[in-house]
Amino acid sequence: EFEVYSKMVLLGSRKKDVRILLIGERGVGKTSLIFSLVGEEFLEEVPARAEEITIPADVTPERVPTNIVDYSAIEQSHEELCEELEHANVVCIVYAVDNADTFQKVTSKWLPLVRNVLGENHNTPIVLVGNKVDLVDDIIMDDVFPIMNQFKEIETCVECSAKTLKNISEMFYYAQKAVLHPTAPLYHPDEKELTRKCKDSLIRIFKICDADNDGIINDSELNTFQKRCFNAPLQPQALDDVKSVISRHISDGVLNNGLTLKGFMYLHLLFIQRARHETTWTVLRKFGYDDHLNLSKEYLFPSLRVPAGCTSELSHLGISFLIRLFEKYDRDGDGALSPSELQDLFSTCPSMPWGYDVYNSVVTNDKGWITLQGYLGQWVITTLLDVYRALEYLAYLGYVINDNESQLSAITVTREKTLDLQKRQTSRNVFRCNVIGPRDAGKTTFCQGLLSRNLEVVQAIPHENLPRYTINNVTVYGQEKYLLLQEIDVDDAQDALFPAETHCDVVCLVYDVSNPNSFEYIARLHLKYFAERKIPCLIIGNKADMSEATQTYALQPRVFCTKYKLPPPQMYSGTGVIKKDIYIKLATMAAYPRFQAAWMLFYRNRHLKQLGVLTRDKNVWIKTGLSLAAITILSIIVAKMVRKASL
């Protein structure tokens, strides 16, 4: 019954060449073993050394091409032997079971030689091969076990006969297996325990497969796991057999008819102890692990190119996966992740990717916990600014489903921005807005306003927890978009901006209306960096709740905007209830970068965003209906104008 599960292994799941080197004393039968394997018959006369033999993948049990290399002290020098050892994937040390001296040389000569050439802590597996079992009546393995315990690099021991062909194919199979499915990274034979890295890897896999996060892998989850790893489901009887085996050995391995973490770990311990560790390796490799139980670079960082002028965003598949993940770890179903729930969500990752400033970068609930909206917003930031980090953590979290799918399906690369400018619209869903201005102009308060936080809330945030970026979704003509704000300080009116600080989808230049010297900073920056650029620009007069001072700059803000064909300055106050109109305007300008008619239509119909004030009107339903009709007509007008503009 135990075999049912392990037989589902797909041999050859890890394709690679295997190079087997045979070494040992003269006359132990190294060359005869090779000829017996290839010719399936014993030759009385063989040369001193067999030529290197390549066995095609389709005739080997593990479906990998295999090179078998013979060593002869007569024909080869010590230097040549050392070179062969360095190139070998596995070394078979052959001795004759009827010759005690050849067995003694295994520990006194050959194993020390291999360590001397490859290093004390080398990773090349060793297979001990006792040949000529046809010449003895009794085979005693008691002398072999102490050697295996002393030399951890010994993978297994096989006793065979080149003359009778006994265990010849098995010997080379175990040599292949030692390379493709090594025991050492998985198991401590002296302690009869899984290694720490193996345990950690299996814990991650268990958590990923536990789709409902109840600490148990039920039949449905186990079948999904089985199909993912072995491309075939387990029959109901086989499922029962697996659970029955575990229940007989440990008391808490099965709970509520499902596998606990302890049961899942014990199952793999049984595989390894019963020489079925290829099953565990198949599972590990399906979840991205390499031969050293590290997640491979190919798994974490699939090749992705984001051309200049393009950006990276989450695809529909990526968003759907992240929503499922959020719901899985939102144990109390309150629509937010508590600190412990967030820690649990990222428990399959080597570290928490978000710092404490994340709570001030995205939307949170009244307890300060990240909501689904804020959680997706933070993933949007990561995908836009560091797509390879997004790919890495999607892999840690278990996004990869099968060999034909990688994290790349979670990412969308947008078209080049010059095409957006030609079309006067964009298909992008995420827009970067650089918020630039002098210190004390209120940029932080403005950025936090995107999250509906006013000045009183902002003043309570410790300075070290203030974020570089703030993100939230806004609605632009009926479509949900993300607006990402980055605060950039200017210490002096003559200060230079770094090139990265001028690259964005829309610029927000902020000045303090109560400070007569504040506007000069942003006026000079606009003339120097943005006047000749095609980036939309909006000037914000902050602290509008204070008395407005006459600016010392040659042109007053409104006159400046008129002269340089900018939208009129927008007044903003961080006190009281934060209005969202100004953020929608920024997103609209970014979405229609060279189509100012869309901006103007928005400004003229700004009253449509204030439907909430009509709720006390006795004709509220009539007014609301007329307003919604106006919005629909407005959207149609914009769409028609865009189409005409792009012709």
For the stretch 331-348, pLDDT in tens is 999 999 999 999 999 999
Helix, strand and coil content of the chain, in percent to the nearest 5, comes to: 45, 15, 40
Is residue 590 within 8 Å of residue 485, measured between CB atoms? no
Cα atoms in the Cβ-side hemisphere of radius 13 Å centred on 395: 26
Take residue 381 and report the two structure tokens written for it.
């930031």
Q: What is the pLDDT of residue 603?
A: 53
Q: For residue 218, give both structure tokens.
A: 């039920």
The answer to whether residues 568 and 596 touch, using CB atoms and an 8 Å cutoff, is no
pLDDT of residue 595: 58
Look at residue 289 and tell me whether its pLDDT is greater than 90: yes
Query: What is residue 218's predicted lDDT score, i.e. its pLDDT?
Result: 95
For Cα atoms 266, 268, 272, give the angle at the middle one, nearest 5 degrees.
Answer: 115
Residue 545 · residue 577 · CB < 8 Å: no
Instruction: Dump pLDDT digits (tens) for 146-173.
Output: 898 889 899 999 999 999 999 999 999 9
Q: Which residue has the tokens 């010590």?
A: 78
Which tens digit of pLDDT belongs to each residue from 585-632? 999 999 887 656 555 555 555 434 433 333 444 444 444 455 545 555
> 433 versus 608: which is more confidently predicted?
433
**pTM, rounded to two decimals:** 0.83
- Residues of 61-97 as b/e, b for ≥16 C-beta within 10 angstroms? ebbbbbbbbbbbeeeeeeeebeebbeebbbbbbbbbb
pLDDT in tens, 109-130: 999 999 999 999 898 999 999 9
CB atoms within 10 A of CB 205: 23
Percent of the chain with pLDDT over 90: 70
**Beta-sheet pairing, 90-96 with 18-24:** parallel
As a whole number of angstroms, the distance between CA 165 and CA 172 comes to: 12
Which of 254-262's residues contact partners 24+ apart within 8 Å by CB, and which partners? 255/216, 256/216, 256/218, 257/218, 257/219, 258/216, 258/217, 258/218, 258/219, 258/221, 258/222, 259/216, 259/217, 259/222, 260/215, 260/216, 261/203, 261/206, 261/215
Average pLDDT, the chain: 88
CA 506 to chain centre: 30
Measuring CA to CA, which residue among 90, 21, 15 is closest to residue 57? Answer: 15
* Confidence grade of residue 107 (pLDDT, cut at 50, 70, 90): very high
Q: How far is CA 218 from CA 221, 263, 280, 330, 466, in A?
A: 5, 12, 19, 20, 43
Above 60 in pLDDT, residue 512? yes
Give me the percent of the chain exceeding a pLDDT of 70. Answer: 88
Q: What is the pLDDT of residue 630?
A: 53
* Whether the Cβ atoms of residue 240 and residue 259 lie closer than 8 Å to each other: no
| Position 549 pLDDT exceeds 80 | yes
Q: Is the pLDDT score of 643 beyond 60?
A: no
- The count of other CB atoms within 10 Å of the CB of residue 405 is 12
Q: How far apart are the first and last CA of the chain?
A: 70
Report the DSSP beta bridge partners of residue 95. 130
Contact by Cβ (8 Å): 126, 151: yes
